[in-house]
Chains A and B, each alone.
Chain A
Amino acid sequence: MKAQKSLFSEIPKSPTIDKVGVEERVSRFQTRSIKGATKMKGLSMVLSMIDLTTLEGKDTPNKVRQMCYKAQHLHNFQEGLPTVAAVCVYPSMVSVAREALKDSTIKIASVSTAFPSGQAPFEVKKIDTQFAIDAGADEIDMVISRGKFLAGEYNFVFDEIAAIKEICGTKRLKVILETGELATLDQVRRASDIAIHAGADFIKTSTGKIQPAATMQVTYTMLMAIRDHFDRTGVMIGMKPAGGISTSKLALHNLVMVKEILGEAWLTNEWFRFGASSLANDVLMQYMKQVTGKYQSADYFTID
């Protein structure tokens, strides 16, 4: 405990965020026109970065199997399309996904730590995480305790993340800040810095259960935290905006932002992911529009 505390004190003081400046900068990313071959490449990249997600109380084993099938067969639409990066499910569905994906290269991400609220005893969160890993999860998406964070108990939040990372071992840990509940960009930055120093491999915006979710302003703020950390230490941290990114256009704008803030090195699914459920279909429809020259209909794409 003592060691962690001293580590916490080493976190540089988070800078304050100029909200007006962020909005101004972000609006510029949204005016880029991306067409033709660049658009095709971008769309294909977006597909390869998607964590295809189903996180509903009503998820059934068959729903998860169906999603896993979809994750592996996107290229059925067009030769040369990549698969998605991962599927993202509840811990109880990890074993189902593991069986459905078998030896596919698609990873399985499991949410944990009493997703989405995070309002459970610390011990339960640890069991939750261990359960997911034992069932075959490759990646863990944990939520931070926003209640503790907002009450100013940063040590608690830090320790929790560090403990979960310890359980994860070599499995990659994504830390969900749930920015929609953090109220200000200053708090988002603060939470990002804590997560990064506590051992997060990825920082992630949202659970998808709270609005607003992955706004570009929030993603921008988190990307800046990653960049500052990289400049200081040379260590790369991944980024995953999740929730609310349902159109290809918005996804491409996010890629533009990543490239300009972090650079090309982050433009792979090792360092950047989209958490989304309906985005994949829109990307496929836009891709087929580029291939055929014809506007597409949702009637010819999967329902989920």
Chain B
Amino acid sequence: MNILKTYKIYINGQFPRTESGRTYVVNDAEGNPIANVCQSSKKDIRNAVQAARKAFGSWSERSAFNRGQILYRIAEMLEGRKAQFLEELTQQGQSLETAKDEIQLCIDRIVYYAGWCDKYQQILSSVNPVNSSHFNFSMAEPTGVVGILAEQSTGLIGFVSQLMPVIAGGNSVVLIASEQLPLCAITFAEVLETSDLPAGVVNILTGSADEMLPTLAEHMDVNALFLSNVDAEMEKNTQLSAIDNLKRVIVKNDDWTKEDAQGISYISSFQEIKTTWHPIEQIGGATSSY
């Protein structure tokens, strides 16, 4: 007998079932059932945001270099589990060739963002000339807890391309996986769990975006949202729900399988610029030397 695996969700470094107890069946390209997947609820969103908020402080304060090491580790672990991702992607209707390409691109992209971890600060930050005796500088700080609605049309490359720049920048994440292609997202959670990523930095839920996105968008403890290829209606509704705490709502309509769908702009979208005015002492008539 063929026993279907039940894919669980990922909250605070653990793999619980959804609080609601609901599941839905995911089919392969021919319509045969291949897995049971959790249909997460509002309360799972609540729990995930709580975990993300708790994890945010220490993740954002880690040294940038250490975040880079951990992202690189994620790429290594993904490399080691290629076969499982290949099987899940092909089961869900992809050709072997495109699936291989997708996984390879994912690994490359994670390494790419691993490299950015300790470099974007120099590019986004600045020392500003001001007309007073102040040392004035601006620096990038992570936005906070970021909700991500994963690209719905791909199983792996979409959400990986969205997730990596956000955590590279020191944010923590609640991610709603693709409803129809959720398997790789949960398997990816297993990769994250074995990659030295602290618990709660990334939380992954499966289920209906229509049901969960409004809760996430209204949540006062979520600081930004990252949507990919959503229709105008959904974008507008999300913007409206997000208004109460002035959440950033970032929508990117990229084809994530393109090699150039990456860059520092995806990191800077989830950074806040803080400017500091620091008085310069002038001792003994000396001129400013910071």
**A residues in contact (CB < 8 Å) with B:** 293-300
Query: How far does the alpha carbon of A299 sit from the alpha carbon of B246 in the complex, in Å?
Result: 13
Query: How far does the alpha carbon of A293 sit from the alpha carbon of B220 in the complex, in Å?
Result: 11
Are the C-beta atoms of B218 and A297 separated by less than 8 Å? no
Of chain A, the residue at the smallest CB distance from B244 is A294
Q: Does B157 contact A (CB under 8 A)?
A: no
Q: Does B248 contact A (CB under 8 A)?
A: no
Q: Does B28 contact A (CB under 8 A)?
A: no
Are the C-beta atoms of A296 and B218 separated by less than 8 Å? no
Query: How far does the alpha carbon of A294 sit from the alpha carbon of B221 in the complex, in Å?
Result: 10
Q: Does B252 contact A (CB under 8 A)?
A: no
22 A-B pairs, CB-CB below 8 angstroms? A293-B218, A294-B218, A294-B219, A294-B220, A295-B45, A295-B46, A295-B49, A295-B218, A295-B219, A295-B220, A296-B220, A296-B221, A297-B219, A297-B220, A297-B221, A297-B245, A298-B53, A298-B221, A299-B221, A299-B245, A300-B220, A300-B245
Chain B residues near A297 (CB, 8 Å)? Answer: 219-221, 245
Distance of A138 from chain B, by nearest CB (Å): 37
Chain B residues near A296 (CB, 8 Å)? Answer: 220-221
Beyond A296-B221, A299-B220, 9 extra complex contacts between A and B, CB < 8 Å: A294-B218, A294-B219, A294-B244, A295-B218, A295-B221, A298-B221, A299-B221, A299-B245, A300-B245
Beta-carbon contacts of B17-59 to A below 8 Å, as 1s and 0s?
0000000000000000000000000000110010001000000
Chain A residues near B53 (CB, 8 Å)? Answer: 298
Q: Does B215 contact A (CB under 8 A)?
A: yes
Beta-carbon contacts of B210-222 to A below 8 Å, as 1s and 0s?
0000010011110
Chain A residues near B245 (CB, 8 Å)? Answer: 297, 299-300
Query: How far does the alpha carbon of A297 sit from the alpha carbon of B49 in the complex, in Å?
Result: 10
Top 4 A-B pairs ranked by shortest CB distance? Answer: A297-B221, A297-B220, A294-B218, A295-B219
Distance of B208 from chain A, by nearest CB (Å): 18
Distance of A246 from chain B, by nearest CB (Å): 14
Distance of A205 from chain B, by nearest CB (Å): 27
Chain A residues near B46 (CB, 8 Å)? Answer: 295
Of chain B, the residue at the smallest CB distance from A293 is B218
Chain B residues near A295 (CB, 8 Å)? Answer: 45-46, 49, 215, 218-221
Of chain B, the residue at the smallest CB distance from A288 is B220
Distance of A297 from chain B, by nearest CB (Å): 4
Query: How far does the alpha carbon of A295 sit from the alpha carbon of B244 in the complex, in Å?
Result: 11
Chain A residues near B45 (CB, 8 Å)? Answer: 295
Distance of B5 from chain A, by nearest CB (Å): 31
Of chain A, the residue at the smallest CB distance from B42 is A295
Query: How far does the alpha carbon of A298 sit from the alpha carbon of B245 in the complex, in Å?
Result: 12
Of chain B, the residue at the smallest CB distance from A285 is B220
Chain A residues near B218 (CB, 8 Å)? Answer: 293-295
Query: How far does the alpha carbon of A294 sit from the alpha carbon of B247 in the complex, in Å?
Result: 14
Chain B residues near A300 (CB, 8 Å)? Answer: 220, 245
Beta-carbon contacts of B241-268 to A below 8 Å, as 1s and 0s?
0001100000000000000000000000
User: Looking at A293, A297, A299, A300, which has the most chain B CB atoms within 10 Å of its CB?
Assistant: A297
Query: How far does the alpha carbon of A205 sit from the alpha carbon of B244 in the complex, in Å?
Result: 41
- Enumerate B143-175 residues with CB–CB distance to A below 8 Å: none
Chain B residues near A294 (CB, 8 Å)? Answer: 218-220, 244
Chain A residues near B221 (CB, 8 Å)? Answer: 295-299
Query: How far does the alpha carbon of A137 sit from the alpha carbon of B225 in the complex, in Å?
Result: 50
Of chain B, the residue at the smallest CB distance from A298 is B221
Chain A residues near B215 (CB, 8 Å)? Answer: 295
Query: How far does the alpha carbon of A294 sit from the alpha carbon of B220 in the complex, in Å?
Result: 7
Query: How far does the alpha carbon of A293 sit from the alpha carbon of B241 in the complex, in Å?
Result: 12
Of chain A, the residue at the smallest CB distance from B46 is A295
Of chain A, the residue at the smallest CB distance from B216 is A295
Chain B residues near A299 (CB, 8 Å)? Answer: 220-221, 245
Of chain A, the residue at the smallest CB distance from B221 is A297
Chain A residues near B220 (CB, 8 Å)? Answer: 294-297, 299-300
Distance of B270 from chain A, by nearest CB (Å): 17
Query: How far does the alpha carbon of A294 sit from the alpha carbon of B219 in the complex, in Å?
Result: 6
Distance of B175 from chain A, by nearest CB (Å): 17
Query: How far does the alpha carbon of A298 sit from the alpha carbon of B220 in the complex, in Å?
Result: 9
Distance of B20 from chain A, by nearest CB (Å): 14
Query: How far does the alpha carbon of A293 sit from the alpha carbon of B218 in the complex, in Å?
Result: 9
Chain B residues near A298 (CB, 8 Å)? Answer: 53, 221
